[in-house]
Amino acid sequence: MLILLASERDEEARAFATRYAHNGLRMLIPASLSRWGWRWRNAHPRATVALIDGERVLANEIGGVITRLPWVLPCDLPEIRACEQEYVAAEINAFLLAWLVSLDCPLLNRPSAQCLSGPGWRSEMWVSKAHQLGIAARA
């Protein structure tokens, strides 16, 4: 199973997940992280259980993760009371960072302390890196 971590509002991610669902791609949205069923054991990675599309998935069943989410925002958690969304979003960001780096599978864009989907660079840095790699990019 491959996981696409993205916002529920990310239409491109949803279309991509639908297009490749037959290949085992499943979308994980932030709201799923506040539902019962998750279990993370850093000292015992095999005991880790994720909740993907309402299904309990063992960590060793995850073949890879693609992250399109720089961080979880309060608006990503509509099921949480408004006065608690900011706090819960911060907790979920911390959990996601720990969970992602503990997975023993390929991560397309390994999270950093600044960003769940990579190094958290500003656009100028991405453009510069693209040019260094010979990839066309707009300044």
pTM for this model (two decimals): 0.84
CA distance 74 to 86: 5
One-letter amino acid of 73:
L
Structure tokens at 3: 């996981």
Cβ 76 vs Cβ 116: under 8 Å: no
- The per-residue pLDDT for range 83-100, each reduced to its tens digit, is 999 999 999 999 999 999
Cβ 65 vs Cβ 78: under 8 Å: no
- The per-residue pLDDT for range 14-59, each reduced to its tens digit, is 999 999 999 999 999 999 988 888 988 877 777 889 999 889 999 8
CA distance 26 to 12: 14
CA distance 139 to 136: 10
pLDDT at 62 exceeding the cut of 90: yes
Q: 126 or 87: whose pLDDT is higher? A: 87
Cβ 27 vs Cβ 17: under 8 Å: yes
Q: What is the pLDDT of residue 35?
A: 87
